[in-house]
Structure 1
Amino acid sequence: MARYLLALLLAAASTHATAQAAAPALIAEIAARSEMQRNLEELCDDIGPRMTGTPGLQRAQEWAMRKLASYGAVNVHLEAYELGRPWQRGRAHARLLNANSLPLNVMQKAWTKGTRGAIRADVALLNVKTLADFNAALPRLKGKIVLAESSPREAPTQALRDAGVAAVLQVSGKEDGLQDMWGGPGQRYDSNAGIITREHANLLKRLLARGITPRLELALDGGFAAKSVQAHNVVADFPGSEPGGEMVILGAHLDSWDLSSGATDNGAGVVTMLEVMRAMRATGLQPKRTLRVVLFSGEEQGLLGSKAYVAAHRDELARIQAVLVQDAGSGRILAFPDMQEEAWYGPMSAALAPTKALGEIDLHYAKGLGSDHETFYKQGIPAFTPLQESRNYRTHTQHSQVDTIDHIDHADLQQAAQVTAILAWGLLDGERLPHID
């Protein structure tokens, strides 16, 4: 027994020593030879928007596979899943026909049918909290362009169509004239639906409050392609030295919205994961577990790519040590949530310990969801996403027309890559994290 305990202590000490040696090498490599800036420019400035189902995303996937292969990845390939009919943006036009006759900042909500030409109708405000109030409001909405400021989540799309509304305008979640974008298969208001900036929504509300009924001209020309298509995830491996097939997955979503070039959402996460693989290869580190990079598509439409990956890889889910996903902009990493799982706290703390040179990276008792790691977490797999300095990510860049490289802080992004690389190495070579039921 004494010899057994000694062997365990020696093994733990060896792992700790390896991690301590790997951390400075990874920090130095990323600081001296990072390719994140160049990769961001190629991805965002050269390729640009990457909405799922579009040629832009296909070009980005081809680019990513070339990069991964050049960084020493093997088994670099695409994995397909059924997307359905892809959505294509068209012209969006809106203007007041009375009052000040201003053009209005309206964009078509993604994954909705267009208006098939210009429509002209009065505006009616929908601001209700309960389903009963929603149903009571329906008769007065017939033939109107509905400014949907608030309605209950359970309010059915079909009810609005049956009520004969002309169109629905939802309000951007951002200020300062910034647009917002969302939508995907199965989401609400799937016909004649637009998103209006908050300031222009307020204009319409002020007119209504003064007894002036705004009348709009609205044209939304986007729509669906004629045929269904497949979407794809990019998958690549940096093989481990030990048999058994255990792996750590580094994930980010390569798709973006199409109002801008998707630099913070989620070009930053993509180039971070590419940089981690590049740095590990460049420093000559050889992990015992396999490092797998997965660049998901369809995240913006409801985690479609990660759901497809989990469904296609059911037989190997038990061999996943952990999943790390970055999808919160380019701010420096401050902490990781432990997902409120006591069994994960110790191994994660050990893997994070060598990051102290980069600041106090805490492990919080918290549960962070909302991106592709959530799909794995729901299968009981240890899956984490960092808490990052928000900068102006939520309020300005995410899903808006200003999601450009101008809003990337490269020093913070470098720190995020260094922290991710060290944590990934600790998970690749460290204690096994248990799965939960």
Structure 2
Amino acid sequence: MSARSALLLATLSLTACSAAETPTPERAATPAAAPAAAPATASAAAPAPASASAAASAAAPAPVPRDPNVDKLQSAAKVDSRAYDMVRSLVDEVGPRLAGSLGDKAAVAWALRTLKDKGLDNVRAEKVMVPHWERGPESGRIVAPYAHPLALTALGGSVGTPAKGLEGEIVMVESLDAMAAMDEAKVKGKIVFFSAPMTRTSDGSGYGKVAGVRHRGAVAAAKKGAIGVLLRSIGTDHDRLPHTGAMGYEKDVPKIPAAALSVPDAELLARLVGQGKPVRVSFSLGAKLLPDAESANVIGEVKGREKPDEIVLIGAHLDAWDLGQGAIDDGAGCAAVVEAARLVLGLGTRPRRTIRVVLFANEENGLRGAVAYAKDHAAELDKHQLALEIDLGSGRVHTTRFLVADTSRPVAERIASLVSPLGIQYDKGPARGGADLIPLHAAAVPIVDLHQDATKYFDVHHTANDTLDKVTKEDLDQVVGAVATVAWAAAEAPETFARVPEELRKR
């Protein structure tokens, strides 16, 4: 893959934690294949259409007969799901598992053991070389006009500061556009503070609107002569816990240290700057980049009975940031897809096609696992029937969308009808796919999004607060039911999904 392509993949992954977070307003009514069950909680209800006209323009799919195996899967997910126990096992036995770390190696071993224990076929680890970045000690403080300690954390991939730390006057900006418009003389030799807040939304769309600052802020500031960057954490909480996340540098642009402030500390800094007095900050980061390390994509399958070479991929990412335990990001996703496969095995009959579980390496800071999977399986990508990724914690699924050729829309709508009893609406807009599906999107593989409720997800996302207690078992079980239904229905469908034409992928 070219350097430009690799940079594009990394940029896309860093600016959208899950591409399935931003549904369009064009939604259909809940499919009429069967009466939709009332949501168990308020969060289960799908957001209302943006307007009555938008809803009316999206025709609901025609009713289809229920599949007894789908009914069994949805019932088993509700009463016999072991997904929560799987998250607990990953959190308790492994915990943090940033790419290249000892935790990453332990996670691969855990995944191999778990997939085998659940009875999946062809369980294996496919080697991936991943970046190895270590955080090191970190600290910060406001020096003037008043002394305050700062709760901060290095952005993933940041260079460290000099051993004695870095001190400078703050220049505050809200956006990358504001940074680009600023006079270089006002920035040179200073520490740039990006103050933009993230808006809480049920679909997570607020994240994509500000995450670009985290990824590109250091480059934009360095081009103007800044010596360092601080930003308000990309999160919706008011806890004094900063949110990390990957950032990037560019060739021929100085690499300057970059860190995120907890939201209360960022608001304090903004208030002080707003008083009009010079504000000075000092911070120290011990971050360093080490040589690439070996990791792996971990794969297991439910082998198809008639067309085993045709594949329905259900994925999540195995790595997690080092601050927390990776329970919601993405332990819950890993558990959902593995448990869905286990429930399919429990039916006692195999689907026509193979259901392949992929636990991707290095989603958080590089997408090396996604790139390696597409490369290693290039010869069979045209036989991937459908792909989905779960990467939004245990939030209930409220909407489903598909990126498929027009000729495959009927089978997509049939699948949408089958998940409707779980309180899931059908949206006619195109799916975007999670970050690990970006290379498959480029290869014309059909994609389905299961949009989850993100109302509270970004309170703990990429923080030390990403712990098991943030996972809600009942909501996670609903996600399992949705994944199992989609996987079974796509793998069992008599039709084969057509490849997605380029004009639809661009849209």
Q: What range describes the TM-score normalised by the shorter chain of this pair?
A: 0.7 to 0.9
Range with bigger deviation, 88-97 or 130-139 = 130-139
The answer to whether the Cα contact below 8 Å between 1:344 and 1:434 also exists between their aligned partners in 2 is yes
Q: What is the 5 A alignment of 1:205-244?
A: 205-225=270-290, 227-243=291-307
Match of 1:109 in 2: 155
Give the Cα–Cα distance (whole angstroms) in 2 for the partners of residues 73 and 90 of structure 1.
Answer: 38
Displacement of 1:136 in angstroms is 5.1
Q: Distance in 1 between matches of 2:326 and 2:109?
A: 17
Match of 1:74 among 118, 121, 127: 121
Matches within 5 A, 1:99-248: 99-127=145-173, 134=180, 137-149=183-195, 160-161=221-222, 165-174=226-235, 175-177=237-239, 178-184=241-247, 186=249, 190-225=255-290, 227-243=291-307, 245-248=309-312
Percentage identity across paired residues of the two chains = 27
Find the aligned partners of 1:53 and 1:429 in 2 and give their Cα distance.
38
Cα displacement (A) at 1:415: 1.1
| Deviations 1:205-262, CA, capped at 9 Å, x for gaps | 322332322222311112112x322332111122111246111111111111222112
Q: Deviations over 1:278-302 (max 9, x none)?
A: 1112221211111111001121224
Aligned to 1:260: 324
- Is the contact between residue 422 and residue 482 of structure 2 (CA under 8 Å) also seen in structure 1? yes
Structure 1 residue 176 displacement after superposition: 0.3
What are the superposed Cα offsets for residues 115-145 of structure 1, whole Å, 9 maximum, x if unpaired? 1323252322142767796375333333322
- 1:90: which partner in 2? 136
Return the alpha-carbon distance in structure 2 between the equivalents of residues 344 and 112 of structure 1.
44
- The change in CA–CA distance for 1:173 and 1:132 in structure 2 (over 3 A counts) is closer
Q: Is residue 2:419 matched to residue 1:372?
A: no
Aligned equivalent of 2:26: none
Q: Which structure has the larger Rg over C-alpha atoms?
A: 1
Q: Deviations over 1:375-407 (max 9, x none)?
A: 31222111122112223013x122223222222
Task: Describe the shift of the 1:353–1:120 C-alpha distance in structure 2 as closer, same or farther (beyond 3 A).
Answer: closer
Cα offset, 1:419, TM superposition = 1.6
Higher mean alpha-carbon deviation, 242-251 vs 425-434, is at: 242-251
CA distance in 2, matches of 1:344, 1:403: 39
- Secondary structure of the equivalent of 1:234? strand
| 1:167 partner letter | G
* Partner-residue secondary structure (3-state), 1:72: coil
Q: Which of 349, 354, 372 is residue 418 of structure 2 equivalent to?
A: 354
Q: Which amino acid aligns with 2:277?
A: I
CA distance in 2: counterparts of 1:243 and 1:162, whole angstroms? 54
2:231 match: secondary structure? strand
- Paired AA for residue 64 in structure 1: A
Q: Distance in 2 between matches of 1:391 and 1:132?
A: 28
> Which protein has greater RCO, CA pairs closer than 8 Å, 6+ apart?
2
Counterparts in 2 of 1:343 and 1:327: CA distance versus 1, 3 Å: farther
* 319 and 195 in structure 1: CA distance in 2 versus 1, 3 angstrom threshold: same
- Distance across 1 between alignment mates of 2:385 and 2:483: 15
Equivalences for residues 24-103 of structure 1 within 5 A = 24-84=71-131, 86-103=132-149
- Partner secondary structure for residue 328 of structure 2: helix
Mapping 1:241-390, distance limit 5 Å: 241-243=305-307, 245-339=309-403, 341-390=405-454
Deviation of the 1:167 alpha carbon: 1.9
User: 2 CA distance for matches of 1:279 and 1:292?
Assistant: 14
Instruction: Give ranges in structure 1 of 5+ residues lacking alignment.
Output: 1-15
How many Å separate the matches in 1 of 2:335 and 2:182? 50
Name the CA distance, whole Å, in 2 between partners of 1:242 and 1:76.
20
Structure 1 residue 366 displacement after superposition? 3.7
Letter in 2 for 1:169: L
Alignment check: 8 A CA contact 1:51 1:257 kept: yes
Contact 1:94 1:103 in 2 (8 A): yes
Q: 2: distance between equivalents of 1:364 and 1:397?
A: 31
Residues 70 and 349 (structure 1), Cα distance of their counterparts in 2 relative to 1, 3 Å cut: same
* Structure 1 CA distance for aligned equivalents of residues 254 and 469 of structure 2: 33
> What TM-score comes out, normalization by structure 1 length?
0.87
Cα distance in structure 2, aligned partners of 1:334 and 1:162: 43
Q: Would the alpha carbon gap of residues 119 and 371 (structure 1) be closer, same or farther in structure 2, given more than 3 Å must change?
A: same
Separation in 2 of the partners of 1:300 and 1:120? 27
Provide the secondary structure at the position in 2 that maps to 1:435.
coil
Report the Cα distance in structure 1 between the residues aligned to 2:453 and 2:254, rounded to whole angstroms. 34
Q: Deviation per CA, 1:8-51: give whole Å up to 9, x if none.
A: xxxxxxxx87x712122222333333211211111123311121
Deviations 1:82-124 (A, max 9, x none): 324x101111111122343211111111111111323252322
Is the 1:331–1:413 contact (alpha carbons within 8 Å) kept by the matching residues of 2?
A: yes
The Cα of 1:157 is off from its aligned counterpart by 5.3
Match for residue 427 of structure 1?
Answer: 490
Tell me how far 1:346 sits from its aligned partner: 1.2
Structure-1 separation of matches of 2:390 and 2:216: 33
Paired residues of 1:181 and 1:400 also in contact (CA < 8 A): yes
> How big is each residue's C-alpha offset from its partner over 1:327-373, in whole Å with a ceiling of 9 and x where there is no partner?
12212211211237533421122223333432344243243344223
Contact map agreement 1:184 1:302 (CA 8 A) in 2: no
Residue pair 1:327, 1:385 contacting (<8 A) in 2 also: no
SS state at 1:228 partner: strand
Q: Which runs of 5+ in 2 are unaligned?
A: 1-63, 197-209, 502-507
SS in 2 for 1:380: coil
- For each residue in 1:165-210, what CA deviation from the matched residue of structure 2 results, as whole angstroms up to 9, or x when unmatched? 3321122122403422211564798432111123322322322332
